[in-house]
Amino acid sequence: DIQMTQSPSTLSASVGDRVTITCRASQSISSWLAWYQQKPGKAPKFLIYKASTLESGVPSRFSGSGSGTEFTLTISSLQPDDFATYYCQQYNSYPITFGQGTRLEIK
Protein backbone atom coordinates (compact mmCIF):
# COMPACT_ATOMS: atom_id res chain seq x y z
CA ASP A 1 0.00 0.00 0.00
CA ILE A 2 1.12 3.56 -0.65
CA GLN A 3 1.64 5.51 2.58
CA MET A 4 0.80 9.22 2.61
CA THR A 5 2.48 11.42 5.20
CA GLN A 6 1.42 15.01 5.83
CA SER A 7 3.33 17.72 7.63
CA PRO A 8 2.87 19.48 9.86
CA SER A 9 0.14 17.71 11.86
CA THR A 10 -0.99 21.04 13.27
CA LEU A 11 -0.40 24.51 11.89
CA SER A 12 -1.18 27.74 13.73
CA ALA A 13 -1.67 30.80 11.57
CA SER A 14 -3.48 34.12 11.37
CA VAL A 15 -5.99 35.55 8.93
CA GLY A 16 -4.09 36.88 5.93
CA ASP A 17 -1.14 34.50 6.33
CA ARG A 18 0.21 32.35 3.52
CA VAL A 19 0.43 28.72 4.57
CA THR A 20 1.77 25.55 2.99
CA ILE A 21 0.98 21.92 3.85
CA THR A 22 3.19 19.13 2.57
CA CYS A 23 2.14 15.62 1.59
CA ARG A 24 4.66 12.89 0.80
CA ALA A 25 3.95 9.53 -0.83
CA SER A 26 5.94 6.38 -0.04
CA GLN A 27 6.34 5.76 -3.79
CA SER A 28 5.70 7.71 -6.94
CA ILE A 29 2.05 8.48 -7.63
CA SER A 30 2.69 10.70 -10.67
CA SER A 31 0.17 13.54 -10.22
CA TRP A 32 -2.69 11.41 -8.93
CA LEU A 33 -3.23 13.40 -5.76
CA ALA A 34 -6.30 15.11 -4.36
CA TRP A 35 -6.80 17.52 -1.45
CA TYR A 36 -9.81 17.83 0.84
CA GLN A 37 -10.95 20.23 3.54
CA GLN A 38 -12.95 18.96 6.50
CA LYS A 39 -14.68 20.89 9.26
CA PRO A 40 -15.86 19.29 12.53
CA GLY A 41 -18.98 17.19 12.09
CA LYS A 42 -18.99 17.63 8.31
CA ALA A 43 -18.00 15.51 5.34
CA PRO A 44 -14.77 16.28 3.52
CA LYS A 45 -14.98 18.89 0.79
CA PHE A 46 -13.13 18.28 -2.48
CA LEU A 47 -10.62 21.02 -3.32
CA ILE A 48 -7.97 19.91 -5.80
CA TYR A 49 -7.32 16.97 -8.12
CA LYS A 50 -4.44 15.82 -10.25
CA ALA A 51 -2.17 17.60 -7.79
CA SER A 52 -2.82 21.11 -9.06
CA THR A 53 -6.25 21.42 -10.72
CA LEU A 54 -8.74 23.42 -8.68
CA GLU A 55 -12.23 21.95 -8.50
CA SER A 56 -14.96 24.25 -9.78
CA GLY A 57 -16.10 26.73 -7.14
CA VAL A 58 -12.99 26.49 -4.97
CA PRO A 59 -11.47 29.92 -4.24
CA SER A 60 -8.34 30.78 -6.17
CA ARG A 61 -6.38 31.40 -2.96
CA PHE A 62 -6.02 27.59 -2.84
CA SER A 63 -3.34 26.04 -5.02
CA GLY A 64 -1.59 22.70 -5.28
CA SER A 65 1.69 21.60 -6.75
CA GLY A 66 4.04 18.65 -6.97
CA SER A 67 4.47 15.32 -8.69
CA GLY A 68 6.05 11.98 -7.98
CA THR A 69 6.31 11.74 -4.20
CA GLU A 70 6.16 15.31 -2.89
CA PHE A 71 3.17 17.63 -3.00
CA THR A 72 2.05 20.88 -1.42
CA LEU A 73 -1.22 22.66 -0.75
CA THR A 74 -0.87 26.42 -0.39
CA ILE A 75 -3.43 28.93 0.82
CA SER A 76 -2.23 32.34 -0.29
CA SER A 77 -4.13 34.52 2.19
CA LEU A 78 -5.98 32.73 4.97
CA GLN A 79 -9.62 33.57 5.47
CA PRO A 80 -11.65 32.78 8.61
CA ASP A 81 -13.51 30.04 6.74
CA ASP A 82 -10.23 28.21 5.97
CA PHE A 83 -9.54 27.03 9.51
CA ALA A 84 -10.18 23.30 9.21
CA THR A 85 -8.40 19.98 8.75
CA TYR A 86 -6.86 19.19 5.37
CA TYR A 87 -6.23 15.74 3.92
CA CYS A 88 -4.32 14.56 0.89
CA GLN A 89 -5.35 11.40 -0.94
CA GLN A 90 -3.55 9.33 -3.55
CA TYR A 91 -5.55 7.73 -6.33
CA ASN A 92 -2.70 6.22 -8.30
CA SER A 93 -3.79 2.73 -7.25
CA TYR A 94 -5.93 0.75 -4.85
CA PRO A 95 -6.19 0.86 -1.97
CA ILE A 96 -6.84 4.58 -1.95
CA THR A 97 -4.92 6.07 0.97
CA PHE A 98 -5.17 9.37 2.81
CA GLY A 99 -2.69 11.41 4.75
CA GLN A 100 -3.28 11.63 8.49
CA GLY A 101 -4.50 15.21 8.20
CA THR A 102 -3.21 18.68 8.99
CA ARG A 103 -5.21 20.74 11.43
CA LEU A 104 -5.06 24.44 10.58
CA GLU A 105 -5.89 26.47 13.66
CA ILE A 106 -6.13 30.14 14.49
CA LYS A 107 -3.03 31.58 16.14
Partner 1 sequence: QVQLVESGGGVVQPGRSLRLSCVASGFTSSGHPMHWVRQTPGKGLEWVAVISYDGNRQYYADTVKGRFTISRDNSKNTLYLQMNSLRVEDTAVYYCARGVYSSGWSDALDIWGQGTMVIVSS
Residues that bind partner 1 (CB under 8 A): 30, 32, 34, 36, 42-46, 49-50, 55, 87, 89, 91-101
**Least distance in Å: CB of 23 to partner 1?**
13
Alpha-carbon gap, residue 51 to 63, rounded angstroms: 9
Q: Which is nearer to partner 1, 7 or 18 (CB)?
A: 7
CB 16, min distance to partner 1, A: 28
Q: How far apart are CA 53 and CA 55, in angstroms?
A: 6
Q: DSSP state, 96?
A: P
- Residue 35 identity (one-letter amino acid): W
C-beta closer to partner 1: residue 19 or 36:
36
Torsions phi, psi for 33 (to 5 deg): -135, 135
